[in-house]
Structure 1
Amino acid sequence: MAHILSAVEGTQVDVVPVRRALISVSDKTGIVDFCQFLAKQGVELISTGGTAKALRDAGLTVMDVAEYTGAEECLDGRVKTLHPKVHGGLLAVRGNKLHEEQMQKQGMKPIDMTILNLYPFEQTVAKGAEFGQCVENIDIGGPSMLRSTAKNHSFTCIVTSPEQYGAIQEEITAKGGTTLALRKKLAAQAFALSAAYDSAIASWFAGQLDTDAPIVTRVYKPEFPLKYGCNPHQKPAQISSRLGAGLPFTVKNGVPGYINLLDAANAWQLVQELKQATGLAAAASFKHVSPAGAAVAVPLTDVECEAYEVTPDIRDSLTPVALAYLRARNADPMCSFGDFSAVSDQVDEATAKYLKKEVSDGIVAPSYTPEALEILKAKKGGKFIILEATPNYNPGDMEYREVYGMTFSQKRNDVIIGKDHMNQVVTSKKDLDEAAIRDLIVASICIKYTQSNSVGFSKDGMMVGVGAGQQSRVDCVKLAGRKVETWYLRQHPKVLGLPFKSDVKRQDRVNARVRYIEGDFTEEEKVRWEAQFTTVPEPLTEQEKAEFLSNSKGISISSDAFFPFRDSIDHASKLGVSYVAQPGGSVQDDQVTEACNEYGMAMCFTGVRLFHH
């Protein structure tokens, strides 16, 4: 044994030529071209049944594994590569005298490369195959060859994916063989694949039994490092994908950070669901993993155009996706400052031009026109983050999260709130028109991705107030309600008529209007605020605010969990709420319903709680 160990430790060959390759693949993508390349390098090809036929049909010379081993396949193909001549050829240490003597005695030949795929076990399970068929798709020989080849990576090269063929060809062409660095990398990928494969089998098998939950192995592929985690001192940090699944986005521009990607993941799900539920282009503006705003494409009123600084030429050029983002951004423009955006449809030039004016960190979308991409790439001095969503990405049914050494798992919240959830109207007022249903859907999907407790107010297809993360539900209502008041008062004639100096920037105008509405200046602040105007504005009095707010109506509110008391409804009544959506299920449901009846509101029970943490 000591002799073998010393040989292993003392023999680190860098470039190893490939003279003999063993091939057994179920995914035959690119295998003929790859093997034609190997044959041109003088590589002897050994293969199993279906793969051997495909290679011969392409005119290649191939030796069957049975011919090489001298043992026929048997047991319905269960045994074909489980043979000393196969594994001896893979595991033998080159340059080890004892190994070489034993190989010669037993007629073994060194095998320098194994190209394989594992049986498609997960795909078989996904198709709903019966138990016996799933068991038959548990690969034995493949993982055995994979592990033998990967273990002996000092001399042998394991190839497990068509995606690896190109890099291997380039290296053999340039260097005459595979390098140790590449073989180590491929071996690491192979062992990760083996771990993921065994985990899938173990999880499925245990799931067929009436036993406790199985041991779960999660295998991740590092994708790229992050500058840091949530905070600068949280290093190292990186983003990984589930092995074989890839990421839900590709980076087209910029360098996303930890929180950027969390915002992108939540925002992208939100806009996809809004589009699916309403059929309208949708957008979201995220900050710190909660939406500052979200909206669907509903035409603007003249007053809204004035409040949001939408000139006639901009209004005429708005496409549905641009309109949706404009509304989402104007729900709470102070909170949207430095946001991460998401839109449900292709980003066009009109959307890119509008986004170019806003202070924003990045965007995720399904695609971009060439003109839009060039506009956005120039934003923030070229640092604007542009993510393109992966088409038909499958996030999996289960979610896992590690917190303080504990791993939480749960079924992903894949309920899409739609019209059907608004059917159970429990109040005396029953009429929910299409606009009200749309707004309740918008609010409900928005709070699904808002840190709980949460409530959201919506009007005309856009969120006009989001309350996130409060311990008391009525505090959520009050927090979001204050935002509703600000949104509505931004349309007050005195706010619209503020006489700004021509050099005051857009975001400064936004902030100044909000502070004017709030009115609680310190003396020092008031001096700086007044300096932005050609003439000092008259205050907006509390009476004027109250009179203007009394005209608010038709607003919808949705709650991520039931209202435990009527106090939330009492407060919502001050804001012009006409429609309410909540899961229901409280012992106080009757009291809350009666409160809605007193204020003439229509309330529906969705039956779905939407906590998000």
Structure 2
Amino acid sequence: MKELELKYGCNPNQKPAKVYMESGELPFTVLNGKPGYINLLDAMNSWQLVRELKAATGLPAAASFKHVSPAGAAVAVPLSNVLEKVYFVEGALLSPIATAYIRARGADRMSSYGDFVALSDECDAQTASFLKREVSDGIIAPSYSAEALEILKTKRKGSYLVIQMDPDYQPAPIETKQVFGVTFSQQRNDVKIGEECLMDIATQAKDFPAAAKRDLLIALITLKYTQSNSVCYTYDGQAIGIGAGQQSRVHCTRLAGGKADRWFLRQSPQVLNLPFKDDVRRPDRDNAIDVYIGDEWEDLLETDDWKRVFTEKPPVFTAEEKKAWLKKAAHDVCLGSDAFFPFGDNIERAHKSGVQYVAQTGGSIRDDNVIETADKYGMTMAMTHIRLFHH
């Protein structure tokens, strides 16, 4: 197929809409559902991300996309018992691709609500079963087992979007797009991200353990397909906080750092022991946990709204308790940036979320201040000399 009509463009009033190839066939096949414009933008970006993660790490990879930026990205690193509980998969013997998907979805479950999923490897029945119970718009993968496809075809009353990508497809080196009737053309961003990007270490500390190298590559490849400005915190084989599309880099760092903090706080005893009612759905649990961790909880306690989800009133998770848990749990975190850090304030904020390893472009006139700040906290920081803006 060379051309595919879409439901509409970015918004329902933007009709007609289609995707097409200047030459050759479309590199994907729609196996179920009807794609929209944003669906396919998410599909094409997320597929590139998981393909590159698999190539860089050798591990099956998954991504959860919303509005053309990842909410989560991960590779198949086994889950701890605590993460199994946090991700609602206690006791399950997970396949590698299911592990990657569970991690990607669990990075930021609030943002992943209604996501588009990408898998680097064949979607198996287990992954499809987990996906079926989540609120999601579609999936792209290189192949599907027969059982997985049947499961996915039952999702969303049979309308769930399932796309099969040709894993051998290679796009033309020059890409174009139109904005306000003006055509833009550029070399496709085919820069390869590997461990060689981490060779120029500017700080006094020089050590990058193998896990840190893996997680920094995850951060950088994730940023390559995140709307800029962007910053990504990674830990244990997955993104734990992504700050996308901010005009100020320190705001990216704060936004992503806040998400990383919430990821760690979700693993605290206070959250793990919340007395949920048995019939409370996962999205409602996610919302309740987000409120409980945040600053709104004490206000909620003044009403009876907590009774909708809890069997009894949970105690307040105090600021002191949160700080103590983060000090205990958040350590050896990795941080990537899609461009240079202009000031040391980014490093100061990163330190609060347990960052120990950093990869950033370098080249700021204040590099000395950024390096000095990293040295103050004993961080290891590499200058990649690669900018990863994505628009």
Give the corresponding residue for 2:291: 515
Q: 1:555, CA displacement in angstroms?
A: 0.4
Give the corresponding residue for 1:446: 222
Aligned residue pairs, count: 389
Give the corresponding residue for 1:4: none
Do the aligned residues in 2 keep the contact of 1:560 with 1:583 (CA within 8 Å)?
yes
SS at match of 1:388: strand
User: For 1:306-345, what aligned pairs fall within 5 Å after superposition?
Assistant: 306-312=85-91, 314=92, 316=93, 318-345=94-121
Do the aligned residues in 1 keep the contact of 2:306 with 2:313 (CA within 8 Å)?
no
Amino acid at match of 1:303: V
Please give the alpha-carbon distance, in whole angstroms, between the structure 2 residues aligned to 1:597 and 1:531. 48
SS at match of 1:353: helix
Residues 483 and 225 of structure 1, relative CA distance in 2, 3 Å threshold: same
Do the aligned residues in 2 keep the contact of 1:558 with 1:580 (CA within 8 Å)?
yes
SS at match of 1:346: coil
Give the corresponding residue for 1:267: 46
Match among 327, 340, 347 for residue 550 of structure 1: 327
Match among 559, 562, 566 for residue 344 of structure 2: 566
List per-residue Cα deviations over 1:332-367 (Å, max 9, x = no partner).
001000000001001111111111111111100000
User: For 1:8-27, what aligned pairs fall within 5 Å after superposition?
Assistant: none
Structure with greater contact order relative to length (CA < 8 Å, sep ≥ 6): 2
Q: 1:222, CA displacement in angstroms?
A: 6.0
Amino acid at match of 1:418: G
Please give the alpha-carbon distance, in whole angstroms, between the structure 2 residues aligned to 1:448 and 1:369. 30
Match among 36, 49, 63 for residue 284 of structure 1: 63
Please give the alpha-carbon distance, in whole angstroms, between the structure 1 residues aligned to 2:194 and 2:286. 34
List per-residue Cα deviations over 1:162-198 (Å, max 9, x = no partner).
xxxxxxxxxxxxxxxxxxxxxxxxxxxxxxxxxxxxx
- 1:466 matched to 2:245: no
Identity of matched residues, % = 56
List per-residue Cα deviations over 1:123-144 (Å, max 9, x = no partner).
xxxxxxxxxxxxxxxxxxxxxx
Do the aligned residues in 1 keep the contact of 2:201 with 2:382 (CA within 8 Å)?
yes
Do the aligned residues in 1 keep the contact of 2:300 with 2:306 (CA within 8 Å)?
no
SS at match of 1:611: coil
List per-residue Cα deviations over 1:470-523 (Å, max 9, x = no partner).
111000000111101111100010100000111101111111111100031555
- 1:237 matched to 2:17: yes
Give the corresponding residue for 1:304: 83
Please give the alpha-carbon distance, in whole angstroms, between the structure 1 residues aligned to 2:242 and 2:303. 28
SS at match of 1:550: helix
Do the aligned residues in 1 keep the contact of 2:2 with 2:26 (CA within 8 Å)?
no
User: For 1:480-559, what aligned pairs fall within 5 Å after superposition?
Assistant: 480-521=256-297, 522-523=299-300, 526-551=303-328, 552-559=330-337
Please give the alpha-carbon distance, in whole angstroms, between the structure 1 residues aligned to 2:229 and 2:111. 18
Do the aligned residues in 2 keep the contact of 1:247 with 1:390 (CA within 8 Å)?
no
Please give the alpha-carbon distance, in whole angstroms, between the structure 1 residues aligned to 2:184 and 2:40. 20
TM-score (norm 2): 0.97
Give the corresponding residue for 2:155: 379
Greater helix fraction, Structure 1 or Structure 2: 1
TM-score (norm 1): 0.62
Give the corresponding residue for 1:591: 369
Please give the alpha-carbon distance, in whole angstroms, between the structure 1 residues aligned to 2:205 and 2:77. 25
Please give the alpha-carbon distance, in whole angstroms, between the structure 2 residues aligned to 1:431 and 1:595. 17
| 5+ long unaligned stretches in structure 2 | none
Q: Which has the larger radius of gyration?
A: 1
Give the corresponding residue for 2:31: 252
User: For 1:350-499, what aligned pairs fall within 5 Å after superposition?
Assistant: 350-499=126-275
Do the aligned residues in 2 keep the contact of 1:289 with 1:451 (CA within 8 Å)?
yes
User: For 1:123-138, what aligned pairs fall within 5 Å after superposition?
Assistant: none
Amino acid at match of 2:344: R
Do the aligned residues in 1 keep the contact of 2:123 with 2:141 (CA within 8 Å)?
yes
Please give the alpha-carbon distance, in whole angstroms, between the structure 1 residues aligned to 2:381 and 2:359. 6
SS at match of 1:242: coil
